[in-house]
Amino acid sequence: DWNFSYNYIDEKANPDQRKALEAIANVVMVPGASKKTETRYVAITRKTEGKDHEISLGQYGTFRGHVLEGGLGGVPKIVNPPGADPIHHEYQQGRTAKMTYNDADQTWSWGNSNYMLGKFTIDSAQFEKYAAGLAQKMAGPKEPKPDDKQ
């Protein structure tokens, strides 16, 4: 079990948006991973200036980082990593300058670590296709029965 699983939703979301975002979080954020779960409605800000990125989650957390320069120019990308799902299928590689988190009886502060910027577009049909494929993989290969001919 995880120690906690908190979701942070922008306080500007209207009731219908909040309901939809909560439903998405309950599917993609490992449901049941922790008995300690909460949803917080906070002021979320995001600022991007060139390669520099800053995010805040109200009073609970901050992030500052930047994407890296690839050896041949542009930003390095990681595509189809192990365990990828439709939301986490491609990342731009970066470096965290500073990250803080203070909630769920946790106090974190670190920097100079891996940062992966993901951008995605997905619909329900794509996610259902992924979920069906994952269920098939989790079931494992079918063992031939002793009376099956090969």
Per-residue pLDDT tens for 14-60?
999 999 999 988 887 877 889 999 999 999 999 999 999 999 999 99
C-alpha radius of gyration, the chain, whole number: 19
Same domain, 57 and 28: no
Residue 60 lies in a domain: yes
Q: Please state, in angstroms and rounded to a whole number, the distance separating the CA atoms of residues 148 and 144.
A: 6
- Domain residue limits at 90: 43-120
The verdict on pTM exceeding 0.85 is no
Whether residue 69 sits in one domain with residue 18: no
Can you tell me the distance from the alpha carbon of 70 to that of 93, in angstroms, rounded to the nearest whole number? 9
How many structural domains does the chain have?
2
**Is the residue at 94 inside a domain?**
yes
| pLDDT per residue as tens digits for the range 102-112 | 999 999 999 99
Q: Is 138 within 8 Å of 83 (Cβ atoms)?
A: no
**Is residue 51 one of the residues assigned to a domain?**
yes
**Residue 9 located in a structural domain:** yes
